[in-house]
Amino acid sequence: MIARTSVPSAILTDLGKEFTAEILDRLYARLGITRLRTSGYHPQCDSKCERVHCSVHDMLVKFIKRDFRCWPAFLPGICLEYNSSVHTATGYAPHELFYSFPPTCPFDAIVEAEQTEAVSNADQFALEATDRLKQAFQFVYEYSGHVANRMKSNYDAAIKPKHFEVGSFVLVYTPRKQQSHVYGKWKVAWQGPFRVMKRLNATNYVVKRSHKAKDFIVHGDRLREYYGEVDSTAWPTAKRNGQQAA
């Protein structure tokens, strides 16, 4: 990616081990790249990338029949089709925003679609490309802002605000993993109790299963209050405090 698009200022990844390895931390520090991580099991944090994956997956399904091992052969053509399609959230094809000119597909060559006149020198090309990109980015900035506001309004309408006090106990939603037998479907998705150790911001919390366990960050959408008994071996301090309060 760096060789094709240059060094980015920040990189957002999920919590996969291939993205959180120590060698990448050192590479990011060397290149001055800010490391950003998503919350576990919360794909909305990287929604644009996840939406691209969903679209590519849907297109792959249309081509693959029985032999799923042949999917790499279809991927280049599907990427060309996706990058040549006008995005509903921007009004432009990804290819045009990246390279400053619209893509030419095989069908355009067959039907002899209208082409722009070739520039005569490098300076003229640079000026025209800069002008096209300025106009495109201004339109995308305004149009995508309206789309984002509409999507945010639709999302907020179905979301209730949550707040958990530090020291309280909660349940954590853990999606069921793919199982080879039916019993995996009966696994309880809400695990716990976990204790809230810290509130990072309005949406993310640091939780811990026991006083000896390792803490981790979780999004508030995956939490719900716990009203049951607390294991005295996991949280002996909390048990003593509860007895004193009684």
CA angle in degrees (0–180, nearest 5) for 131-132-133: 90
First to last CA, the chain: 60
Average pLDDT of the segment spanning 1-27: 85
24 falls within a domain: no
Looking at residue 165, its pLDDT comes to 92
Domain holding 115, by residue range, is: 85-159
Structure tokens at 225: 């209050």
196 falls within a domain: yes
Confidence tier at 232 by pLDDT (50, 70, 90): confident
Confidence check: pLDDT of 224 > 50: yes
34 falls within a domain: no
The tens digit of pLDDT for each residue in 159-184 reads 777 889 999 999 999 877 665 555 55
Say whether both 241 and 173 belong to one domain: yes
**Domain end: 159, 186, 203, which one?**
159
**Domain end: 159, 191, 219, which one?**
159
Residue listed under structure tokens 């081990």: 17
CATH number, domain with residue 183: 2.30.30
Say how far apart CA 164 and CA 235 lie, in whole Å: 18
Say how far apart CA 102 and CA 119 lie, in whole Å: 15
- Whether the CB-CB separation of 56 and 79 falls below 8 Å is answered with yes
**Domain end: 116, 135, 159, which one?**
159
- Whether the CB-CB separation of 172 and 194 falls below 8 Å is answered with yes
Looking at residue 240, its pLDDT comes to 45
Average pLDDT of the segment spanning 241-246: 44
Quote the crossing angle between the two packed helices 47-63 and 71-84, to the nearest 10°: 120
Q: Which of 230, 238, 166 is nearest to 192 (CA)?
A: 230
Say whether both 187 and 148 belong to one domain: no
The tens digit of pLDDT for each residue in 97-149 reads 788 777 777 666 555 555 566 666 777 767 777 777 777 777 666 766 666 67
72 falls within a domain: no
Structure tokens at 39: 């919350």
Say whether both 116 and 150 belong to one domain: yes
Q: Which of 39, 23, 42 is nearest to 31 (CA)?
A: 23
Give just the sign of the alpha carbon dihedral 146, 147, 149, 153: positive
Say how far apart CA 232 and CA 238 lie, in whole Å: 8
The tens digit of pLDDT for each residue in 185-203 reads 557 788 889 999 999 988 8
Task: DSSP for 25-36, please give it.
Answer: HHHHHHHTPEEE
CA angle in degrees (0–180, nearest 5) for 75-35-30: 100
Looking at residue 110, its pLDDT comes to 54
Q: How many domains does the chain have?
A: 2
67 falls within a domain: no
Say whether both 175 and 227 belong to one domain: yes
Q: What is the largest CA-CA distance in the chain?
A: 86
Mean pLDDT of the chain: 78
103 falls within a domain: yes
Q: How many Cβ atoms sit within 10 Å of the Cβ of residue 67? A: 7
Looking at residue 166, its pLDDT comes to 93
